[in-house]
Amino acid sequence: MKAVCQLCGYVYDDEKESVPFAELPDDWTCPCCGAPKEFFEIEGSPEEAAEPVADAQDEAIRIATDAEGDVMAGLSAGQVAALCGNLARGCEKQNLPRESALFAQLAESFTAQVEPIDGADIHGLADLLMGDAGRYAAARNAAKAAGDRGSLRALTWGERITNMLSYLVGRYLKDGEAFLKDTEVWVCAACGFIYVGDEAPELCPVCKVPAWKFEKMEVKAS
Amino acid sequence: MSTPRKYAVRNLRLCTKDCICLFVCPYGATDTENSVIDVDKCVGCGACAEACPSGAIYMVPATYPPQQKKQDSVLEAMGELSRAKADEEQIARQIAAETGEEGLARLMKAAVKSLRLVHEDVMRESGYMLPQSANAQALLARIADGEGASAQTAKELLDLIPCNEP
Ligand code: SF4
Ligand code: SF4
Ligand SMILES: [Fe+2]
């Protein structure tokens, strides 16, 4: 039997391991990306077709967004910030450092204009992240129907990264500070994949850049 | 001299800084103190890129073809995602700022970075791939219409980046 990590594609082959997959402890994690055992699917088993539907959460988002005000023809400040951040990266790739820096400046100033969200807490964040499953499914269907490969690539990466974040937030809700005590939180600077462990992974399981692209999260001691 | 259709860029991470591109460039464009190839001297002949043993030089076009048009159905679905990502990022930022817990602060700092990168990627595939695109230029024009430092920055960008679409 073979089990495949749905996050990074790592294959656990019973024939090559001393312990069969089914007998691994529940707290076993993917040796490549750190995903939990439940992220593995048995090879050959039919993939669950039922796509979760976006639910009442969508309403909540729209309300929160409207409160931010109509900064740019329907785009909120947070959206314009991401847009400018993306264009900064585009300029960087085209070797336009000055333009890139200016777009980064715009991104920063729009980020500062984002209205605070009332009652923001980790439960609200967990709910929103769960709701993303439906949004990714809808976007994937639209991109497939349009034959839009660029979007499909972005959606595949984005969904994996979101799944990981959603899992980590859930873990934190369950285990609290103990979960992150004495270990590090890393972010891939290229794609945003988050990894919890003592060292950064050798290769980003999502976008495959090497370990030096990972940034260690540090906060000032209070 | 007419504007070159391409010019050479050196990837400093790959360059071993010891060799051949200095000899092959007919215009001395690769021989600079800071190792950045001189755009004003480069005519885009490609000799350096061909000669470099480390694959450290690549040619970039001076103008880009118009980006692919996106379908409305895709844009709409991407818009939903974008709004969610913006809210998620803001919630994570507020938690990171307010919490006294060290671990949670690190996790939320990671979430802010991660969500922004994912959101940027969504935007890239929402018709904003190229800074030269009509979409990007229209966005800049709207920002430039406003007031303050951002408007000034947007005007500067409009002057620097030519539009590549009618
Ligand atoms: S030929 Fe390539 S490796 Fe050698 S100095 Fe030039 S860019 Fe660097
Ligand atoms: S492309 Fe030609 S002109 Fe430009 S730096 Fe390389 S060798 Fe020199
Ligand atoms: Fe990555």
User: Each residue of B74-132: pLDDT tens digit?
Assistant: 999 999 999 999 999 999 999 999 999 999 999 999 999 999 999 999 999 999 999 99
Q: Which of A79, A86, A129 sits opposite B86 (nearest CB)?
A: A79
- Looking at residues A127-151, what average pLDDT do you find? 94
Domain assignment of residue A24, yes or no: yes
- Looking at residues A194-205, what average pLDDT do you find? 92
Ligand 1: which atom is nearest the Cα of residue B20? 1
Report the domain count for chain A.
4
Q: Which of B81, B118, B157 sits opposite A161 (nearest CB)?
A: B118
Full domain range(s) for residue A83: 77-113
Question: Would the CB atoms of B86 and A83 count as touching at under 8 Å?
Answer: no
| pLDDT: which is higher, A72 or A3 | A3
How many other C-beta atoms can be found within 10 angstroms of the C-beta atom of residue A150?
A: 16
Q: Give yes or no for A160 touching B (CB within 8 A).
A: no
pLDDT at A49 over 50: no
- DSSP H or E run through B6: strand B6-10
Predicted confidence at residue B110, as pLDDT, reads 98
CATH number at A33 reads: 2.20.28.10
Domain assignment of residue A72, yes or no: no
* Confidence grade of residue A64 (pLDDT, cut at 50, 70, 90): very low
Q: Is the CB of B49 under 6 A from ligand 1?
A: no
**Predicted structure pTM score:** 0.83
For domain B6-61, the question of CATH label 3.30.1950.10 is answered with no
Q: Which of B83, B106, B124 sits opposite A154 (nearest CB)?
A: B124
Which of A89, A113, A137 finishes a domain?
Answer: A113
What is the dihedral sign for C-alpha B146, B150, B156, B159? negative
Domain assignment of residue A61, yes or no: no
Domain assignment of residue A63, yes or no: no
Q: Is the CB of B12 under 6 A from ligand 1?
A: no
In whole angstroms, give the CA distance from residue A181 to residue B106: 11
Domain assignment of residue A123, yes or no: yes
Predicted confidence at residue A89, as pLDDT, reads 95
Interhelix angle A77-93/B72-98, rounded to 10 degrees, is: 100
Predicted confidence at residue A95, as pLDDT, reads 83
Task: List B residues 139-158 in contact with A (Cβ-Cβ < 8 A).
Answer: 139, 142-143, 149-150, 153-154, 156-157
Q: Give yes or no for A67 touching B (CB within 8 A).
A: no
Predicted confidence at residue A69, as pLDDT, reads 40
pLDDT at B7 over 60: yes
| pLDDT: which is higher, A40 or A7 | A40
Domain assignment of residue A65, yes or no: no
